[in-house]
Amino acid sequence: MPALDQDTVDAIGAEDAGWRREQRAAAAEAFAETAMPDSAEEIWRYIELGFDLDDYAPVPRAGNPLDDDPLGGIFDTKLSASLIDGHWIGQDQDGADVTFASLHSSSSAKPELIESVLAEAGLGDVRDRFALAATAFGADGAFVHVPTGTTAPGVIYLDVQATQPRSVTFPRIVVAVDDGAEAALVIHLRSQPNDDLVVVPQIAAAVGTNARLAITVVQNWGYATRSLGNANASIGRDGTLRFAEVGLGGKLSRLHLDMRMQGTGSAADVVGAYFGEAEQTLDYRYFMRHIGTNTRSDMFLKGAVEDEARSVFTGMIRIEETGQKTEAFQTNRNLILSEGASAQSVPNLEILANDVKCGHGSTVGPLDAAQRYYLMTRGLGAPRADQLQVHGFFEEALVKLPQRELVAPVRKWINGKFVTAQLAGRV
């Protein structure tokens, strides 16, 4: 397999548009001079990576598809495709209503639009070694464009697979929802259970004036996969972005989310549900930036860890001087289900305006003994009482998912993790 070097950049980008070649070259030069992050940096605090990106090789072509997708049949959709090892697998759908196509081909067909989305969302501002590698060595990706006044027909579904052990892949997803348009995108991330590989997903979205976009990411990586992703978005005047992430898999799964409420009246709703077991690390760094006036954001995440798993949440609400009349809230609740598990929860506020409403809440703790006792007095055994607590704990987050079709399978997966641990005597 090729290495992460200039020869690979030249080979991958041989047919790129001019602007993309320049972007690759600059990122490759910076990548060569940038070290792996470590926990001394605040944004990487609490995390020991324990590997070097140079030990993994980029993938020149897509591998064999994984087995049937458990989410593939639950949506009523006319727009679906796959990214396998970062390569677009599907037929470009470029009609008058919605474009859902290869990012590589779209970069030549609509270069100015894609450049503007990347600039508005601020994805290029992320300069760690993983993001630089994604820009330099990313082979392809998916592009979604919903033009002015258009509503996408049903859910747009993207199945993102990583298939080749000891590889590193860079799936990139760029979304443009123009003024007055509306769309819902579901992204399913998955790999084989025991394949040691690295994935660096990148999502960039631009939501126009009075536009609506919902993005749901279901993270189902195998337990030997390391994923270090970025999701960046810009929201225009009176636009709304609903973003959800369900975190289930991965040896290490990290998501750095950066949302910019640029326009007056723009809004973002963020919801998350995650459950770690074995030796998983689930790492969330969420930043909400209020730039326009009269903007709103709400972060609501719930998670649980058992065995030796750990979770990290760092949330930041930053309100600029221009962000008067902002309303912004963040909530992170965590259950610790085993003695060896741990959770870090660090909410932050940075407020430069003087007419705002803000709040944050954070909890880390075990199941409620009083609730268990109450349920047992009603005839339930301790295991069943604890199952009901876990079920009820997550339900508040699950009902907020933008796509209702996902509630039942996600509920089953989360509750199944806990029941399995109970039966094995791990909790």
Do 370 and 338 form a contact (C-beta atoms < 8 A)? Answer: no
Do 356 and 326 form a contact (C-beta atoms < 8 A)? Answer: yes
pLDDT of residue 1: 55
- Digits of tens for pLDDT over the chain (427 positions)? 578 988 888 888 888 888 888 889 999 999 999 999 999 999 999 999 999 999 999 998 999 999 989 998 899 888 999 999 999 998 998 877 899 999 999 988 899 999 999 999 998 888 899 999 999 999 899 999 999 999 999 999 999 999 999 999 999 999 999 999 999 999 999 999 999 999 999 999 999 999 999 999 999 999 999 999 999 999 999 999 999 999 999 999 999 999 999 999 999 999 999 999 999 999 999 999 999 999 999 999 999 999 999 999 999 999 999 999 999 999 999 999 999 999 999 999 999 999 999 999 999 999 999 999 999 999 999 999 999 999 999 999 999 999 999 999 999 999 999 999 999 999 9
Q: What are the start-end ranges of the E strands in 262-325?
A: 267-276, 281-290, 296-305, 310-319
In whole angstroms, give the CA distance from residue 414 to residue 214.
Answer: 22
Q: How far is CA 413 from CA 24, 72, 243, 273, 291, in A?
A: 39, 16, 20, 11, 38
Which residues are CB-neighbours of 319 under 8 A, at least 6 positions away?
290, 326, 328, 350, 351, 352, 353, 356, 358
Do 236 and 117 form a contact (C-beta atoms < 8 A)? Answer: no
Do 126 and 256 form a contact (C-beta atoms < 8 A)? Answer: yes
pLDDT of residue 292: 98
pLDDT of residue 123: 87
Exposed / middle / buried, residue 412 (Cβ in 10 Å: 0-12, 13-18, 19+): exposed
Q: Give the three-class secondary structure for 194.
A: coil
Per-residue tokens: 111: 């270069």
pLDDT of residue 125: 84
Q: Is the dihedral of CA 186, 199, 280, 67 positive or negative?
A: positive
| Domain positions in the chain | 52-259
User: What pLDDT digit, counting tens, does each position of 214-272 carry?
Assistant: 999 999 999 999 999 999 999 999 999 999 999 999 999 999 999 999 999 999 999 99
